[in-house]
A and B are shown apart, each in its own frame.
Chain A
Amino acid sequence: MSSSGSWPEPSGERQWRSIEEREGSAELRAALEREFPAGAAELSDGIDRRSFIQLLGASLAASAVGACTSAPAERILPYTRQPVGLTPGNPLHFATALSLGGRATGVLATSWEGRPTKLEGNPLHPSSQGSSGVFEQAALLQLYDPQRARLVKQRGTPRAWKTFLLDASLRLSASAKKDQGAGLRFLLEPNASPFVADFRTRMAQAYRNARFYGYDPLADDNGPRGVQLAFGQPSDVQWDFSKADVVVSLDGDFLQPPGPHLRHARAFSQRREPARLNRLYSIESTLTITGMMADHRLRLRPSEIQLFALELVQELVQQPGLSSLSGVSQASGQLARSEHLKWVKAVASDLARHRGRSIVIAGPSQPPIVHGLAHAINAVLGNLGQTLQLIRPVAGVESGVASLSALADEIKQGAVEMLVITARNPVYSAPADLDFGKRVASVPDSIYHGLYEDETWEKVQWGIPAAHPLETWSDARAHDGTVSIVQPLIAPLFNGIPEVELLASFLGVIDKSAHQILREFWIEHGPAAAFEQRWERWLADGFIANTASPSVQAALRPDSLISAIRDWVKEQQGQVRSTPDTLEVNFVGDYKVYDGRFANNAWLQELPNPITKVTWDNAALISPATARRLGLERDDVVLLQYRGRQIEAPVYVLPGHADDTVSLPLGYGRSGAESVARGVGFNAFALRHSAAPWFDRGLIVKKLSRKHKLAVTHDHWAMEGRDLAIQYAVERFEKEPNALEQLRGPTETLYNPVNFDREQYKWAMAIDLSRCIGCSACVVACQAENNIPVVGKVNVLKSREMHWLRIDRYFSGTLEDPAVITQPVACVHCEKAPCEYVCPVNATVHSDEGLNEMVYNRCVGTRYCSNNCPYKVRRFNYLHYTQNKPKSERMLMNPDVTVRARGVMEKCTYCVQRIERARIQSRIEGRAIRDGELTTACQQACPAQAITFGSLNDANSAVARLHRDQRRYDLLHELGTLPRTAYLARVKNPNPELA
């Protein structure tokens, strides 16, 4: 084994432990208080079972018959007429699309005799390229969520859909006669659907004075304005990170939604291999997924980032051939030289060295000027048409906070008589100052088309249960404009009404199904010839080929940018710098619930936050220094006061967070009818102000005596100097290529090892830490594929979470600017597995192909295997997590995987159900399983392609190649367990100038 410290401390930085320890202050007492909270008794299941069930009612897996084989007589109900193409016992796959932030991601749905059980990315779709994120994966649970709205309701009393149609049409015709619908307003969920676009034009004809607004609390409306500033013309931007050697991100978390994050992740991760390693500078305030990948990360308060951008411009002007920026740089005048000048210089020269091969990207939360500056820099560096394309805007209604406040004003003036809301729960997600709930309630005739009886539903006259995207026909456009036809996988489970039908009803179409309406729309918008074939083709592909928005040519026209900067400089003179007792507030979208629309999704609620590893909560994120100054530590509840409003929130001290700034994740603290979401976390929207929706000064933090225990799945942050998740500078890697030699290969043993080379397959996995961005899509994918139960906060607090695949996250270096690394860990399928020989009943054994098999029905639950597993990847069903489950959610279960009952151990199986299906198929066809034919759920989801699976006995297989890679090492190699899952060390590309 490698004696400690010999190799490799990530770039020589020294490890430290959780903050409590680093601080040294009475670490143990702190620990004890943390681990033995007052009134802990209420956490005991024996007592708290009922509320436990209540909490989980919405997401327990199908109940399983104990283990007795003699069950009551069983019925078989064959079809009366079997659908064509359906084979009982074999799943079918359909292509459709899911929209987020108004842009579609293509997915393939697996359907068993008509019930969808799994979603995967559509390999042909530009926004997916075969991978999927947490939201795509978790959409299924939402589909089957028994708490979805089920009835059309008028002020709470059930009504028939027809009644609504009648009622609405009467009023409509009235208002149409009166004043062409002057009082008619639509608040739409942002989407680029051609049908909706057409609907709007036709409505405009029918009701001249009707108006449309859109709202998505996380919508990026600064971006387009920035483009306008820089190029004087509207257009969308398509980034190509695969071509960029240098990426500078100005608070631009481009690896998370609503952008085309899957495509970005794919392209970006391709450039993280030593051969073609890019360099990422991330300038951001809170630690983001992008920040975790950065080679250099600069913590700035959100308000300082614009300053940084200006300084960057001023530096770039110094560089030869970039004088065309001088106008812009002069506009900002003489800037106060900041402490990070060295940084600016380094970035500037690096950019100048990589003209046409670099990207400067700004985030939605940054003001238009920053976007403008970014584009200006890209333009002068000649990146236009190289690493980024301007394309004709993919149509859609403006849907930022501005548009919502405009609507709010209209309502206040009483201009609105009829309000139709298809936006997701705006009453909840509106900035507090708009008091949107009151506004909506004041509208005489309001209609809400929603999935849940949520906060908005309570305020409207008419609540219309929405059909889930997987239940309905519609169309949508991808980030690059490619059109997809959205087709249903299943008839509406809870009488949901398709959006298409609702909208069409306003044009008097009340007797047609969404299917008919949509087909007719597409028939008239396209060559009539051979429509059927084309339609079938669209549905089969999941998108309509060659419908991407054409790219547009544009040159830098900085005048408006310059004037904008001048104005900004003027107003800066008046401003006062933030004083220590008022901090900066920073609103961020959440990695798990987006804007709160996924808050009732227990998969996502229990998913550890990729950064903080917090489940079932959100927390006010602050930097260690600020925490020290304010005398705060994790779980302390603080009072946050801002612009006359105040909320209470638990604190999470996050290393690498900007000082004097508090980041508040949106989307929690829901108060709707959804019991999973209700009361989880705090509602940051209650503090959000329409004047400064993203960040602002003037936040006051007061410590309260209370504590709120956060359920954190990964408490200990340091690697204790152990060679676990390895990352180091690329130079070092080139200098000593065999440095990892002692962390791989066979170890000393007294027994002669089993030889697996004679078998047909030798299953193995490789995980490339250089590629892994830690987005956790794999975790949810695994949960969906393998029927993994949710255990709820009570049990996560007892560290009983059931995820087969977890993502470890370690910090190293300094507390202020730590190096971060993420490492997915599931069962590594040791060839010499410690778990196997200690099981008294042979419930976990080794297969001839090297799988470490877990046989649930043989397990008696001694849990010895887990004790002896050095990777602690085994999960035990401490309670009967899978009983008491709503019918609708039994439909969600993957029929190829046993649903585990109480008292048995479980763990990653390398998706053996997929292996066996592939094997049987190949054996019937008399061939071998091809490399790449077989993917595990995590591998299939991973947008960064960090996970590879296959057989080592095929020397040319992808996984075999990776196992021979110089960066390959085995986790806990010194134990001689010979894991089949190999890790590839992460390489970093630091800029020597910043060393």
Chain B
Amino acid sequence: MQPAASADPLDPLPLIAGRQDSDSLTRIIFTPVWEKTRRGWWFLFLLGLAGTGLLTAAITVTFKEGIGSWGNNMPVAWAFGITDFVWWIGIGHAGTLISAILLLFQQKWRNSINRFAETMTLFAVMCAGMFPVLHLGRPWFAYWLVPYPNRMTIWPQFKSALPWDVVAVSTYFTVSLLFWYVGLVPDFASLRDASYSRLKRIVYGIFALGWRGSSRQWHHHKIAYLLLGGLATPLVVSVHTIVSFDFAISQLPGWHTTLFPPYFVAGAIFSGFAMVLTLIIPARRILGLEEIITLKHIDNMNKVVLATSMMVGYGYLMETFIGWYSADKYELFSVANRMFGPFAYMFWLLILCNVLAPQVFWSRKIRTNVVATWIVSILVNVGMWSERFVIVVVSLHRDFLPSSWAMYKPTWVDFGLLFGTISFFGTLFLLFLRFLPAISATETKELYKELSEEHAEATAA
């Protein structure tokens, strides 16, 4: 049978490369789970554990000493904590976008990467979720942000965006989790059936929820999956919109901006895709998934990155323009301070990483060059973090009364939390790669079927 490759003369990059059949696909996808644990995996895993240890230490200090162990001060009352929070939430956006929206738009190329993206989303949101709690002066009262009738007869303040955050983020996490799990069920089943050790079969079996692949089950599965997709779609927009309200509802120059919601969502997708690329490029290489996660996928994702980069760039442009157009001396100053103040290097770094670097993706050659892509994707991650830093810290450190201006200097705890969460994230991801199929086998096979049918038609005609 013909390879699905070069199915479309206008689009030489195939979605599935090589000469495949159902078995070969199964082999490719499940090998990483079946094969013996590699030494490299152990190395990375221990590295991740070490980082997680750092995280634990930082968290312990934070709870024991208080926020004073961070670099925060007056006027910079929010700093690394919120920066990290927004950054992680942003990263957690690719998953839902790819799964839900691309699903609804029936984009074929989503199939081989959606599992990656969704998993990453879950872990990113886990990391993000820590910060709002860590960040409180008295975390043991965090539950006061939840509305419930109490002995004090007091409700939360619904005008503030913070209680919404709680709801938005937790909802987002729940839905993503369900979405991810429902998608996994058939694969759990195949793992169950294909595993040799009884233990594995029992464990996978439990998670497979007794899946037998009957057409009825498929029918329900499809419906449930679609419904969840529908549910998830608005969340992609809502979560980061609400996160952006944390800033937009204030009156601080640099925060008080109606542009924030769309611009934060764009930024989120931007960083989300960048993170997917950062993870997927080494993974496909090491786990030998190149035939299923092809250059086509990378090419497409790069296009999304480029597009969102332009949107974000437009955001920066607008902020600057409005700063001038408002004729408000405080707005004007905050813009100038970003560009030329003591933290200017952060601003120019973000311009470099978020606006300039992705421009290389105009060239197809670079879009399909994994190394270049990988470097740019990392730059984008850095850039998005520094964007949040600029918004949070640089706006705060010089506001209305010059008398209260001050500089901000992070402590080891701040860095511990940042790199700790990154390691924690990595550790979880390694576990995922080891024990679960990184690519949805069922969907890939469907896709393969579709493709070869198309091909058949094409050749028939």
Contact = CB atoms under 8 A, between A and B. Distances in A.
In the complex, are there CB atoms of A and B closer than 8 Å?
Answer: yes
B265 to A, nearest CB: 22
A837 B157 contact: yes
Contacts of B328: 1
6 closest Cβ pairs, A-B complex: A861-B137, A903-B137, A878-B68, A879-B68, A35-B407, A872-B404
8 contacts: A4-B329, A28-B342, A795-B68, A799-B407, A837-B157, A838-B162, A840-B163, A872-B75
A841 B77 CA distance: 18
B458 interface: no
B156 interface: yes
Q: Is the interface of A mostly helix, strand, loop or mixed?
A: loop
Nearest to A841: B144
A867 B252 contact: yes
Interface stretch (A96-104, A418-426, A477-485, A713-721): A713-721
Given A1-B328, A45-B411, A860-B137, 17 more contacts: A28-B342, A31-B342, A35-B409, A724-B401, A799-B73, A799-B75, A799-B407, A839-B160, A841-B145, A842-B157, A862-B162, A863-B72, A870-B251, A872-B75, A877-B66, A905-B137, A972-B401
A967 B268 CA distance: 50
Interface of B: 61, 65-69, 71-75, 77-78, 135-139, 141-142, 144-145, 154-157, 159-163, 246, 249-252, 255, 327-330, 333, 340-342, 344, 396, 399-407, 409, 411-413
A43 B68 CA distance: 11
Interface string A114-153: 0000000000000000000000000000000000000000
A46 B413 contact: yes
B74 A870 contact: no
Given A806-B403, A903-B66, A867 B77 contact: yes
B66 A878 contact: yes
Contacts of B154: 841-842, 858
A867 B250 contact: yes
Interface string A6-48: 0000000000010000000000100110111000110111110
Q: Is the interface of B mostly helix, strand, loop or mixed?
A: loop
A415 B282 CA distance: 91
Given A45-B68, A841-B145, A904 B252 contact: no
A67 interface: yes
A972 B400 CA distance: 8
Contacts of A874: 74
B138 A800 contact: no
Interface in A37-70: 40-41, 43-47, 49, 67
Contacts of B249: 837-838
Contact of A870 (B67, B162, B400): B400
Contacts of B61: 46
Interface string A448-459: 000000000000
Interface in A872-899: 872, 874-880
Given A838-B160, A864-B160, A866-B74, A975 B251 contact: yes
A834 interface: yes
Nearest to B340: A28
A295 interface: no
A902 interface: yes
Contact of B411 (A4, A17, A44): A44
A3 interface: yes
Contacts of A41: 411-412
A40 B409 contact: yes
Given A839-B160, A902-B137, A860 B402 contact: no
A859 interface: yes
A860 B138 contact: yes
Given A715-B405, A859-B137, A45 B69 contact: yes
Contacts of A862: 135-137, 162
Interface in A287-333: none
A690 interface: no
A834 B138 contact: no
A841 B156 contact: yes
A345 interface: no
Contacts, number: 204
A716 B405 contact: yes
A639 B78 CA distance: 41
Interface of A: 1, 3-4, 17, 28, 31-32, 34-36, 40-41, 43-47, 49, 67, 714-722, 724, 795, 798-801, 806, 808-810, 825, 834, 837-842, 858-864, 866-868, 870-872, 874-880, 902-905, 972, 975
Contacts of A871: 400-401, 404
Contacts of B141: 67, 841, 860
B65 A49 contact: yes
B403 A714 contact: yes
A810 B401 CA distance: 11
Contacts of B156: 840-842
A880 B66 CA distance: 8
Given A863-B78, A872-B74, A877 B137 contact: yes
A34 B407 CA distance: 9
Interface centre among A40, A842, A862, A972 (most CB of B within 10 A): A862
A879 B162 CA distance: 23
A718 B342 CA distance: 17
A232 B380 CA distance: 85
Given A67-B141, A859-B138, A878-B66, A868 B251 contact: yes
Interface centre among A3, A36, A720, A859 (most CB of B within 10 A): A720
A834 B351 CA distance: 31
Given A716-B402, A719-B402, A840-B163, A46 B69 contact: yes
A859 B157 CA distance: 12
A879 B74 contact: no
Given A45-B65, A798-B71, A870-B399, A860 B342 contact: no
B73 A798 contact: yes
B449 to A, nearest CB: 51
Nearest to A867: B77
Nearest to B341: A28
Nearest to A868: B250
B66 A834 contact: no
A879 B77 contact: no
B193 to A, nearest CB: 49
A864 B75 CA distance: 11
A6 B70 CA distance: 41
A108 to B, nearest CB: 33
A32 B250 CA distance: 28
B329 A860 contact: no
A77 B159 CA distance: 47
Contact of B402 (A718, A840, A878): A718
B136 A860 contact: yes
B162 A864 contact: yes
Contacts of A4: 329
Contact of B67 (A719, A859, A903): A903
A903 B138 contact: yes
Given A867-B252, A867-B396, A872 B136 contact: no
Interface centre among B61, B77, B157 (most CB of A within 10 A): B77
A799 B137 contact: no
A44 B69 contact: yes
Contacts of A834: 250-251
Contacts of B411: 41, 44-46
A46 B402 contact: no
B160 A840 contact: yes
B75 A866 contact: yes
A798 B344 CA distance: 21
Contacts of B246: 864
A49 B396 CA distance: 27
Interface centre among B142, B155, B406 (most CB of A within 10 A): B406
A715 B67 contact: no
Contacts of A1: 328
A36 B403 contact: no
Contact of A35 (B157, B251, B342): B342
A870 B401 contact: yes
A939 to B, nearest CB: 21
